[in-house]
Amino acid sequence: MHTVDLDSADPVDVICYLNKSDNEYDGRLGARISAIFVILVVSSAVTFFPVLAKRIPKLRIPLYVYLFARYFGAGVIVATAFIHLLDPAYGEIGPQTCVGMTGGWADYSWCPAIVLASLMGIFLLDFGAERYVEVKYGICREDPEPIMTDSVGQAQGQQVKPAQPAGEERKRSKDSSLESQSMEEVYIDRSFKQQIAAFLILEFGVIFHSVIIGLNLGVTGDEFATLYPVLVFHQSFEGLGIGARMSAIPFRKGSWLPWILCGLYGLTTPISIAIGLGVRTTYNSGSFTANVVSGVLDAISAGILIYTGLVELLARDFLFDPHRTQDNKRLTFMVISMLLGAGLMALLGKWA
């Protein structure tokens, strides 16, 4: 075993020595295998719940149950970004770590730079997708409503055409109805394309994080007994956030995409645990390489979820939504649900 003289060694060697750990796998294979199925079932169930509540009205899910799921999930996503991704990233590649004090990693504070680059990249993708949809349909969100020709003529004092025969009037009313229906479909299609792009980015960030914690659960040692139940709640809360956000997207009737995306999240962590068990005697989560990989992925995911949580969830739903409810009771419930989700997810950061 490699040893280090703590009195004469270089501080970097001391930090790297203290951070380094051997493989901690200590058996309990049956319990670890059970985690695959428990997390699969529980996290999938809570991920599907908001989508089922929204897309199957026959279930008669009470409005406040749906609102709780949606805004509790929003708080979970925000807390995940800061507590479960940003802080671990600093602990893996930050300035005071073995990685952050070694080679090129020591020349610059790369952890916040990666977070910033990720956040800006997601902003550009989001903005580009939204602008593309606007240009494609020739509609800008701030464009005024079209003004009818007759109204303009009256406003400007122009002569108004005489009333049309009943047959022509019915035809014009029918054409106007079809045009209105067509415009509504365009708005729904535009809204779907804008929201699905943002959602896929969100799920991408969450899945990165789920892969890492799944691997760690498969090989962790003494902490397994605590980590197991904590991660069941952790993945369930994140799944609730994913499902709640997906339920707000106007998918076409009969679309299989929401079910596929829910299933993808539910499978990610169990598959990662299985992979962790496959390499349980060789994988070392404390190695330099593992810290670099997990630190970079955590920093990228943190940037994604910070942007998505603050902009796509909180700002868009609470500040900029023109259809936001004016009912103070409902608004209070939504805010409390969001704060509860953020608070509980932050609390789980004490253990995982």
Assess if residue 1 is contained within a domain. Answer: no
pLDDT at residue 341, as a whole number: 93
- Predicted confidence at residue 117, as pLDDT, reads 96
Strand, helix or coil for residue 117: helix
Q: What is the mean pLDDT of residues 289-313?
A: 90
Residue 145 vs residues 92, 114, 142, 232, 314: alpha-carbon distances, Å = 53, 42, 9, 49, 28
Q: Are 89 and 305 in contact (CB under 8 A)?
A: no
CB 243 within 8 A of CB 51: yes
Q: How confident is the model at residue 214 (pLDDT cuts 50, 70, 90)?
A: confident
Task: Let me know if residue 149 belongs to a domain.
Answer: no
R_g over Cα of the chain: 26
Residue 319 forms part of a structural domain: yes
Instruction: Give the 3-state secondary structure of 151-177.
Output: HHHHHCCCCCCCCCCHHHHHHHHHHHH
Average pLDDT over residues 252-260: 85
**Residue 297 domain-assigned (yes or no):** yes
Q: Report if residue 22 sits inside a domain.
A: no
- Torsion 73-77-82-84 (CA) sign: positive
- In this predicted structure, what is the pLDDT of residue 328? 93
Q: What is the pTM of this model?
A: 0.78
Does pLDDT of 321 surpass 70?
A: yes
Q: Is 97 exposed, middle or buried (0-12, 13-18, 19+ CB in 10 A)?
A: buried
Q: What is the pLDDT of residues 65-112, one digit of tens each?
A: 888 988 998 899 999 999 999 999 999 999 888 888 888 898 999 999
Q: Tell me whether residue 328 is in a domain.
A: yes
Confidence (pLDDT) at 146: 41
Instruction: Report residue 351's pLDDT band, with 50, 70 and 90 as the boundaries.
Output: confident
pLDDT > 90 in the chain, percent:
26
Is 317 part of a structural domain of the chain?
Answer: yes
- Domain limits for position 303: 38-137+177-351
How high is the pLDDT of residue 54? 81
Residue 284 has pLDDT above 80, yes or no: no
Looking at the domain assignment, is residue 304 inside a domain? yes
Express each pLDDT in 118-147 by its tens digit. 999 989 988 887 787 778 777 655 544 443
Count structural domains, the chain. Answer: 1
SS3 98: coil
